[in-house]
Amino acid sequence: MSKEIRTRFAPSPTGYMHIGNLRTAIYEYLIAKSQNGKFILRIEDTDQERYVDNAREVIYETLQSVNLKYDEGPDIGGPYGPYVQSERKAIYKEYAKKLVELGGAYYCFCSKERLDQLRKGSESQGGVFEYDKFCRLLTNEEVESRLQNNEAYVIRQKVPETGSTSFEDLVYGTITVENQTLADGILMKADGMPTYNFANVVDDHLMEITHVVRGSEYLSSTPKYNLIYQSFGWEIPTYLHVAPIMKTSEKKLSKREGDASFQDLLEKGFLKEAIINYIVLLGWSPSTNEEFFTLSELKEQFSLKGLSKSPAIFDINKLKWMNGEYLRRMSAEDFHKVAIPYYKEIVHCGIDLKKVSLLLQHRTEILSEIPEKIDFLAELPNYDSQLYINKKMKTDLVIALNHLRASKEELLLLNQWKHDEIEGCLTTLASKLGVKNGQVLWPVRIALSGKASTPGGAVELAELLGQDETLRRLEVGIFKLG
Ligand code: GLU
């Protein structure tokens, strides 16, 4: 029987969900779930300086809201816990000691002053700081006595100084690194916390992770991690590094510029389903031309072959288009539900909100556009009379004034304030006047909205506003033009 697939999502608690990380989580979830495997959540919080309140909750809530159900994790437990790295300090300490004994790491007692000196030296020569491996040469006795003296230390990886290390990445192919280019990096810090470079290896091994999926920024360090696996005699997992999501061909998405966070996109009015669908396709291509996928469809369709190593550019217009498609494909009731929070301004106007939703559903790309599309319903804006002039509709200020007057008279007499009756009334008026419908409907639409672009035309707007308000707004228009 083949081994159970186990993947993990290992975010650092930053207080927001980077969409690149969320995409990695989806791939990890899909790789596990498409093969009946397990998907694990692990919180990587060893960098305590970057501590942010509530940050774990953001992770739990985001994963929950997009239905990425993990099988094991800090808040739900599991057989390989704890799932928070800061709670695993003792484990790393034990393994770091073991690694020293196995010859894969060494104690380093170099002071901050000495390291600063080295750093200055290499920087003044235009180089990049690299530890000079001074403590690699300490004898066992010396190390013992300094430990006895409670001297502060870190534990560094003892990277072979010759040869090369290779591995096979399922996305990037064979990666080979000359060992001499790898630094003796810190595995355990002086505060007893591991660095990512050590913790990821220990945890992935102990949690029996079979497939490590992460950003391609870790590609060049992976040989170092593999050297640690080898020192312990542990099986190396399968690696899949994924290309970053870019803002432009040179620039990555960044939280600071407000374009990398999942929460920010939600606040901008994108639907989570559309965001998920869109980001999955940034870095993975299905085998067909289909572009729309739910998570459960993805579980069926996902295959590793579609993962790409070329960075994808995040195209907000494409996401907007996709979001608009999602809105259009919703049932009228579902659209109404997601649109309601955007109706705050018109909630108290006695307008039939369901009808507003029907008008908006096919004319909205992102929900946050809604308030601006419907603000005129709450209050007629102070508009420019020039709007009445429309070449295509063949209207000018005189025609508009005459037709507003006539429309008002006819609409005043209408007993039934319903769509078809209003439409009948205005189109009958147009034919009575011997003019095209547009010559009546355009001025009415402007009078009712004060805008050239509205969701729905004159008839729909009149129906929404009701008879009294329609007549009042026509009167305002007549006054403006008279
Ligand atoms: N904590 C790392 C990060 O957030 C995780 C990398 C990994 O998945 O191994 O970048």
For 88-242, CATH number?
A: 3.40.50.620
- Order the strands of the 105-108 sheet from edge to edge: 105-108, 154-157, 186-188
Helices (H) and strands (E) counted in the chain, each on its own, are: 19, 11
Q: Which CATH architecture has domain 257-334?
A: Orthogonal Bundle (1.10)
Residue 390 beta carbon below 6 angstroms from any ligand 1 atom:
no
Closest CA to 413 of 402, 401, 428: 428
Atom of ligand 1 nearest to the CA of 217: 10
> Is residue 274 a contact partner of residue 328, using CB atoms and an 8 Å limit?
no
| pLDDT at residue 1 in the model | 58
pTM metric for this prediction: 0.90
Q: Are strands 105-108 and 154-157 parallel, antiparallel or unpaired?
A: antiparallel
Q: How many residues does the chain have?
A: 482
Cβ 20 under 6 angstroms from ligand 1: no
What is the whole-number distance in angstroms between the Cα of residue 215 and the centre of ligand 1?
8
Quickly tell me which residue has 């290309």 as its tokens.
243
Residue 418 bears catalytic tag: no
CA of 11 to the centre of ligand 1 (A): 5
Q: Is 182 left (phi over 0), alpha (psi -120 to 50) or beta?
A: beta
Residue in the structure block whose two tokens are 């650092």:
12
Q: pLDDT by residue (tens digit) across 239-276?
A: 999 999 999 888 888 777 777 899 999 999 999 999 99
Q: Which residues pair with 72 in a beta bridge?
A: 40
- What pLDDT, on a 0 to 100 scale, did the predictor assign at position 24? 97
Q: Burial, 463: exposed, middle or buried (Cβ in 10 Å; 0-12, 13-18, 19+)?
A: buried
What string of H, E and C letters represents the secondary structure of 345-384? Answer: HHHHHCCCHHHHHHHHHCCCCCHHHHHHHHHHHHCCCCCC
The pLDDT, as a whole number, for residue 257 is 75
Domain 380-481 falls under CATH 1.10.8.50: no
- The alpha carbon of residue 285 and the mean position of all alpha carbons in its chain are separated, in whole angstroms, by 18
Q: Report helix, strand or coil for 240.
A: strand
Which are the contacts of 26, defined by CB distance < 8 A and separation ≥ 6?
66, 68, 276, 279, 280, 295, 298
For the chain, the structural domain boundaries read 88-242, 257-334, 380-481
- Is beta strand 245-246 parallel, antiparallel or unpaired with respect to 312-313? parallel
If you measure from the C-alpha of residue 473 to the centroid of ligand 1, how many angstroms do you get, rounded to a whole number?
59
154-157 and 186-188 as β-strands: parallel, antiparallel, unpaired? antiparallel
Residue nearest to atom 4 of ligand 1 (CA): 11
69, 97, 98, 255: which one is catalytic? Answer: 255
Residue numbers in the chain where pLDDT is lower than 70: 1, 50
Give residue 451 CA to ligand 1 midpoint distance, Å: 50
